[in-house]
Structure 1
Amino acid sequence: MTQNASLESALQRITATQDATPDAMADLIAAIRPRRADDGEYAVNVLRSLAFLLSQRPEFRRGLRDYLMRLIGTRRQLHLYTDTGILSNEGVWSAFRRRLGEKLLPGEYRDGYLKDVFGQVFARKDDHLWVGAVPDAVWLEVWQAMQFGEGQHERDARNTRLELLEAAQVLSYRISAIGLEPELVRNHPAIEQFESPFLTQNVALRDYLERYKACLVDPTVAHEDDSHVRILLSQCEEIIGKLRKTAAQEGVSVSLTYLMVRLQQHLARLRLVLDLLAPEQAQQLPERAVRFFKVLVEADNRKTSLRDLFATNTDLLALQITEHAGRTGEHYIASNRSEWKAMAKSAMGAGLIVGFMALLKILTTKLKLAPLIEAFAFSMNYSLGFMLVHVLHFTIATKQPAMTAARIAATIEQHGVGGKNRLDALVDLIEAVARTQFVAILGNVGVAIPTAFAIALTVKYGLGEVWVTPEKALYLLHDLDPIRSLALPHAAIAGCCLFLSGLISGYYDNKAVYNRIPERLLQLRWPRRLFGFPRWQRICTYIENNLGALAGNFFFGIMLGSMGTLGFLLGLPLDIRHITFSSAYLAYAAVALDFQLGWQLWTMSIIGIALIGLTNLAVSFSLALFVALRSRRIRFVDGSTLVLKLLQRFLRSPQRFFIAPKDAPVITAVQPTQAG
C-alpha cells in the first residue's frame, strides 16, 4: 500500500468511528511511523502529506479533529502530565524492581486514563526517535491543517485546561514534599534557616491558580502572569546546583541523587505545564504543545529503561567515586627527582612484602584445603598483605592506573574548556605518570625477585627444606608462558579486579565523608575509654583519610584470592596473573630447579612477566579512564594530536618518560568539577 493510501485508509477509519477507542489513532501513527526509527526524513514526508490531505479534505480534517477531542476529553489526563517520565517516590531500588517486572510482564492497561492510551498509540519503544527527529515546524503544519478554530470544542479545551491546572498543583505539592526530605535538609541546612523556596513556590502557585480559575469563570477579571512562581522555581533549581557542588566536600549517595533527579524532573515538568497555561502567550501555544508532546513520547517510550534509571541516578556518585580516586592518584605522580626516588623506595618496600606473600600462597596450596577454605586463605593472604603495604606507605605499581586515570580525565576536561595550552599540560601529566609507573614497576619487581631468591635459597640450603617441588616449579613456569597458557587472559581479569578495587576505594572514601563515619566513631564511649580520647581521635582521623584505600585493598585481595576457586566451581577457566607475584614465582621456580632453565624458558618467562604487567596496566587504566570520562560527560576528540605531541616529546627527551628531571615543575592538582 502506498504512503497516501495508508494515510487515507487510517483517516477514513477515524472519520467513520463514533467512539473514542485508541485503535484508530494507533493505525494513523503506524501509517506515519518509518521502518527505521531514525528515519526522520520519511516521517517528515508522511506528515506533510497528512497536512496536505487535511487541508484538501474537510471531512478528514473534521473527523480527525473531533476524534482527537473525544479521545483526550473523555479520559483522565492528570497522570499523563504528572507521572509520565517522572520518578516516583519509591526509591531507586524499588524503581529498578518495578521496571524489571514491567519488562517481563507489562503493566495493566486502563482505558480511562490518557496516560495508558498514550502508551498504546506510541507503542514502539523507539517512537521517540522519529518523533524527535521531525522538526517542530512540520508538526505545526499538521496542527494548523486541522484548523481547530472551525470546531466547537470550547468544553473540551476548558476540561484540558482544568486538568493542566490540577497537574500544576500536584507537581507543586510534590516539589514541596521532596524539598523537605531530611536527606536534602541535612546536606543543605540553609533550607531550614531561611524561608524555603520549596514551600513558598507552592503558596505562590496556589494564588496564581486561584486567579487563573477566577478568570475562567469571569473573563473580565484581570489575569496576572506567573513570573513570581518562575522566580521561586529558579531558586529551587539554584539549591539543587548548590547540593551538587557541595557533594565534592560532603559526599553523595544514590538516595540523595534520586531525590535531586526527582526534584529536577518535577521542576522541569511544572515549567512546561505553566508554558501551556500562560494566556498572555496564547500565540505560542502550538509551539509549546509540540515540545511538550515530544517530551511525553520520549518519557513514555523509556519508562521501563533500566539504563536510564541507573544513568540518571548514579552519575553524581560515579563522579564522586572517580574524584576521590583522582585525589588518591595525585600521590602516584612523581613531578620531580625527589618524588621519583620516594616512589622507587615505596615500591621497593611493597616488592619485599609481595615476596613473602607469594611464598605464603605457595605454602597454602600445599595444604590441599577444601576449595572454599582455600579461597578464604588465599583471600586473607592477599587482603592483609595489600593492607599492610598501604599501612606502611608502600606502593603496588598496578594500583596506579585506576587512580591516575581520574586525574588524567580531569585534565582532559580542563583541556576541553581551556584550549590548546591544556593539551601541553596533559602531555606533561602523561609523561609524569609514565615515569612514575615505570619506577614503581621496577621497584616492585626489582625487589620481589631478590626477596624470593633469598627466601628460597635460605629454605633450601640453610634449612634443608623443600617448599617448592620441581613439579610445582614447572607448573609455576607454565603459568608464565604467554603462548601455551592463559596467562594474558588471566592478567586481563586481574586488570579488571584492579579497576574495581579503584572504584571501591572511591566509593568508601565518599561513604566515609557522606555518612560522617569518623565523627560518629568519635562519639563511641568504650573506645575513648579504652584508647584515650587523643589516641582515638587520631585513629578516627586515620580512618577518615584511609578507609577507601583499606577497603579497596581488602576487596582487591578477596577478588584475587577467590577468582580461581570461582572458576573451579563454575567450570570456567578463571584465574588471575599479577606482574609482581609472577616475578616472585619465577624466582621460586628457578631455585627449585637449581637454575637449570634453558635460555628459551628464561626468555619466555621474562617476556610473559612483561606482557602480564602490560596487560594488568592496560586493562585497569582503560576501564578507569573510560568510567572517569563518562562520569564527567566529556568526550576527548584530540587523541591524534595528543599522540603526536607525546611522540615528539619522547623523541626529543626519551629519558623524561623513565627518569624524572631534577628541575621539573610540580604538577598542580586539577580542581574537581561537578556535573550540572
Structure 2
Amino acid sequence: MLDILERIDPHSDSTDLLIELVDCLRPRRRHRGHASAAVRTLTQLLRGNPAQAWALRSYIVTLLEKRRHTSLYSDIGILSNDGFFTELKRRIAWRLLPPALDDLYLSDALDQVLYAEEDYYWIRSVPDADWLALFDVVAEARPPLDAAPDRARLVTTMGMLDAIRTLSCRVCALGLEPRLVHSYSEIEDFDSPFLMQNIEVNHYLDEYGRFLEGAIPRPDDPRHLLVMLDQCDEVVAKIRRNSLSFGTSVALTYVLVAITQSIERLRKLLFLVDVSEASGESATALLAAPEQEAAREAERDAESAPCASRELVTMPQPAGPRPVTPRRAAALALAQELVEGHNTKYRVRGLFRDNIHLLARNVTENASRTGEHYIAESRSQLRDMFKAAAGAGLIVGFMATFKILLSYLRAAPLVEAFLFSMNYSLGFMLVHMLHWTIATKQPAMTAQRIAAGLHSRDGRSIDFDSMAELVNKVFRTQIVSVLGNVVVAFPTALVIAIAYQQMMGHHLVTPEKAMHLLHDIDPIHTPALFYAAIAGVWLFVAGLISGYYDNKALYTRMGQRVRQLRWLGSLIGIERRDRVSRYVENNLGGLMGNFYFGILLGTTGTVGYLLGLPLDIRHVTFSTANFATALVGLDYRMSWEMAANATLGVALIGAVNLLVSFSLALWVALRARKIQFKRSVMLLRALGRRFVQAPLDFFIGPRDVEVIDIPVFTKENK
C-alpha cells in the first residue's frame, strides 16, 4: 500500500494505480473485517504522510476533471427507458459479453476500479466513520505553495446539476407515457405534476447557473420543486392502488419502478447541491476551493516556523473527527448506492425483483378474490361444496375413461400428448363452466386468501384467532371437496367399466393393463408420490395462470372489447353478446387456468419420455377412477393387500397434491406481499384451541343459524 502511494503521479488521469490501491483494500475470500482494517491503515498512512495525501487528492481530482459525471448519477442504479424485455435482453447479453468501456465517462472508470461483483458488500461492511475519516484526510490535505487550486467540488456539483436535468426530463417523459395515462386518466384533467416538475427543475437550474456566475448571492431553495416530486409520487401510488382493481402489466410496472427510482435519485442530488439558507450550509462551504485557504494557512505557518521547509508543512493532527452532518452522511450513502448499482447492473435477478413484485401482487390478489369462493362458511355451504365436487368427480370419471381409450390408439408421442392434453383441458373447462369444483385446484386459490389475511408489516398485528378460523374453514372445505371428487369418481368409473363390458363383451382394460394401473398408484414401490408432487406444482402454476389472466382481463378491459365486436352482435344478438362479454371478463382466468393445467398434465409424461427423464403426473381423482377401472378389469379378484395399497396410494397422492400446491401458492403470496410470517406456533395453538372446544365443528363446521323474521308492528298495521 505504501509503495502504491509513493508511485502516485498527481497529474495522471490513468486508473491503474487507483485499481491497485483498491485491490489492497479489497478483502480476500470475503473476509470483510480485513477491509475495515485496511481502510484504517490507509488513513493512518496518509495522516502521517501529508505529501502522499496531497498527491492522492490531486490524482483523484485529475481523474474527476477529465471525465464526465452525468451518467454516473443519472444511470447507475436506475432502470432505462427501453422497457422490461429490452432491458432483460441487454442484461443477458452483457452478462455474456460486457460492453466496451470509454475513459471519457466517470461511470466507466468506476467499472474499471470496482470490477468485482461483490465489491459493494465489503464497501458497506466498512463503518461509515472509517470511510469519512479517510475522505477527510484526503480532502483536507494541505497543498504545496506552488500547487494550483483544483476544481473538485465544482466539477462534482456541475455533474450533479446535469444529472438533475437529465433525470427530470426522464421523469417527464415516463410520466406522459400512454400506458400511464390509460391507468390514471384523471391526470388529463389537471396539469401533470410530471410536466410541472420539469419546468421547476429548469427554473431552479437557471437560478443555480446565475449563482455560479456570481450574478446572485444564492439560488432559491428547491422547496417548491420537492412538492412537485411529492405530487408525482402520489400519482404513482394511486396508479398502484388502482392496479389492484383494474389490473396491471409488466410494461406499466416497469414504468412505475423507473419513475420511482428517478424521483428518489432526484431528491438525493437536490439535497447534496442545495446551498440555500434552508439547507443549513453556506454556499462558500459547498463550492469554494478550501485548498486555497489551506495553502495560505500553510504559508503563514511556514513563515512563523523558520526551521520548517517552505515546500512542505507537516499536517497537524486533528483534534477529533469531524461531525457527521446530514450532508456528509447523504453523500456517503449515495456513494455506496452507486457502487451497489454498478456491481449489480448486469444482474437479471435484480431486474425481476424490482419489476415482478407488483405484478405478482396483483396476480395473487386476483387469485385471493377467487379463493374466497372456495371457502365454506357453514354446513349448508359445505353441502353445496360437496355437491359441486361430486359433479366434478362425475366428469373426471369419464375423462379417465377417455384417456384409457385414447391410449389404445397407439399414436405418435406428440400426437398422443395433444390428445391427452385436450381431454384434460376440455374436461376441466367443462367443470368450470358448470360451476363444479376440482378439489386439488382449490389450494392454489385459498392460499392467496390466507396470505391476504396475514398482510401485516411486522406480524404483530395479526389476529391469530381469526386466522385460525380461516385456516380451519379452508381445511374442512378442502376435505369435503376431496371426498366429493373421490366418492363420485370411483363409482362413475366403476359403472362405466361395467357398462363397457356389457356392451362390448370384454373389459375396458386387460388384466395386464389393470395391474399396470394399480402399479402406477403404488406409493411404496414406485415414484408415484414424486409424480404427485409434479402434479402439485402444475396445480400451483395453474393458479398463477388464472390470476394472471384475471389481471389481464381487468387491465385490457376484455369485456368492453368483446362488447365492441359488431360481427358477434350480428351473429348471436346484442343481448347474448353482452352476456358473453360479462362471462369472459369474469371467467377468463378460470378458463385459461384450466386449459393450461390440462396441457401441463397431458404433456408431462411425453416430455419425460422424449428426454429420458422420470417425469409423469399422478392426480388423486384420476387415480381413484383408475383404481375402480382396474377393479373391474380384474373381475374383482383383488387381495386385501392390493386394495389397501391402492387405497393408501390414492390417499397419499391426494395429500401430496394438496400440500405441494398449497405450500407453493402460500409462499409466493407471502413473498408478493413482502410478509415474513414466523409465528406459526401461535397459529397452531389457536387451531388446537378450536379443535378442543368443538371437535365436531372443526371438521363439519358450525350449525347453520336460522334467521327468524319477526314482524314489526306499527300504528298503521296494528
TM-score (norm. length: structure 2): 0.89
Kept in 2: contact 1:335–1:664 (CA 8 A): no
Of 595, 599, 620, the residue aligned with 2:640 is 599
Give matches, 1:93-492, under 5 Å: 93-148=85-140, 150-151=142-143, 153-218=149-214, 220-280=216-276, 281=279, 282=281, 284-414=326-456, 416=458, 419=461, 422-461=463-502, 463-492=504-533
Give matches, 1:612-631, under 5 Å: 612-631=653-672
Give 3-state SS (helix, strand or coil) of 2:151's partner.
Answer: helix
Report Cα offsets for 1:176-226 as digits up to 9, x if no partner: 111100000111112211011111111111111111111111165342111
Kept in 1: contact 2:11–2:58 (CA 8 A): no
| Whole-angstrom CA distance in 2 between matches of 1:23 and 1:256 | 43
Do structure 1's residue 12 and structure 2's residue 29 form an aligned pair?
Answer: no
| Whole-angstrom CA distance in 2 between matches of 1:636 and 1:27 | 46
Of 519, 535, 538, the residue aligned with 2:576 is 535
Of 34, 59, 65, the residue aligned with 2:27 is 34
Q: Match for residue 54 of structure 2?
A: 62
Q: Match for residue 82 of structure 1?
A: 74
Q: Which runs of no fewer than 5 residues in structure 2 stay unpaired?
A: 282-324, 707-718
Report how far residue 414 of structure 1 moved.
4.4
Report how far residue 663 of structure 1 moved.
4.5
Pairs aligned (count): 657
| Whole-angstrom CA distance in 1 between matches of 2:436 and 2:54 | 80
Which stretch has the larger CA shift, 127-136 or 438-447?
A: 127-136
Q: Match for residue 668 of structure 1?
A: none
Kept in 2: contact 1:92–1:255 (CA 8 A): yes
Report how far residue 31 of structure 1 moved.
1.4
Kept in 1: contact 2:10–2:62 (CA 8 A): no
* Cα distance change of structure 1 residues 563 and 664 upon mapping to structure 2, 3 Å threshold: farther
Q: Match for residue 611 of structure 1?
A: 652
Report how far residue 92 of structure 1 moved.
0.9
* Cα distance change of structure 1 residues 83 and 11 upon mapping to structure 2, 3 Å threshold: same
| Whole-angstrom CA distance in 1 between matches of 2:698 and 2:412 | 47
Letter in 1 for 2:135: W
Q: Match for residue 311 of structure 2?
A: none
Kept in 2: contact 1:427–1:645 (CA 8 A): yes
Report how far residue 287 of structure 1 moved.
2.5
| Whole-angstrom CA distance in 2 between matches of 1:199 and 1:121 | 38
Report how far residue 75 of structure 1 moved.
0.7
Which stretch has the larger CA shift, 244-253 or 270-279?
A: 270-279
| RMSD (Å), alpha carbons | 1.8
Which stretch has the larger CA shift, 454-463 or 550-559?
A: 454-463
Report Cα offsets for 1:535-588 as digits up to 9, x if no partner: 110110011110000000000001101111111111111110000000000000
Report Cα offsets for 1:574-626 as digits up to 9, x if no partner: 11000000000000000010111111111111111111111101111111111
Q: Match for residue 672 of structure 1?
A: none
Letter in 1 for 2:132: L
Kept in 2: contact 1:143–1:286 (CA 8 A): no
| Whole-angstrom CA distance in 2 between matches of 1:440 and 1:650 | 20
TM-score (norm. length: structure 1): 0.94
| Whole-angstrom CA distance in 1 between matches of 2:689 and 2:670 | 25
Kept in 1: contact 2:534–2:617 (CA 8 A): yes
Kept in 2: contact 1:415–1:423 (CA 8 A): no
Which stretch has the larger CA shift, 291-300 or 23-32?
A: 23-32
Report how far residue 94 of structure 1 moved.
1.1
Give aligned-pair identity as a percent.
Answer: 47
Q: Match for residue 314 of structure 2?
A: none
| Whole-angstrom CA distance in 1 between matches of 2:455 and 2:152 | 51
Report how far residue 77 of structure 1 moved.
1.1
Letter in 2 for 1:19: S
Report how far residue 156 of structure 1 moved.
3.4
Letter in 2 for 1:201: Q
Q: Which runs of no fewer than 5 residues in structure 1 stay unpaired?
A: 1-6, 666-676
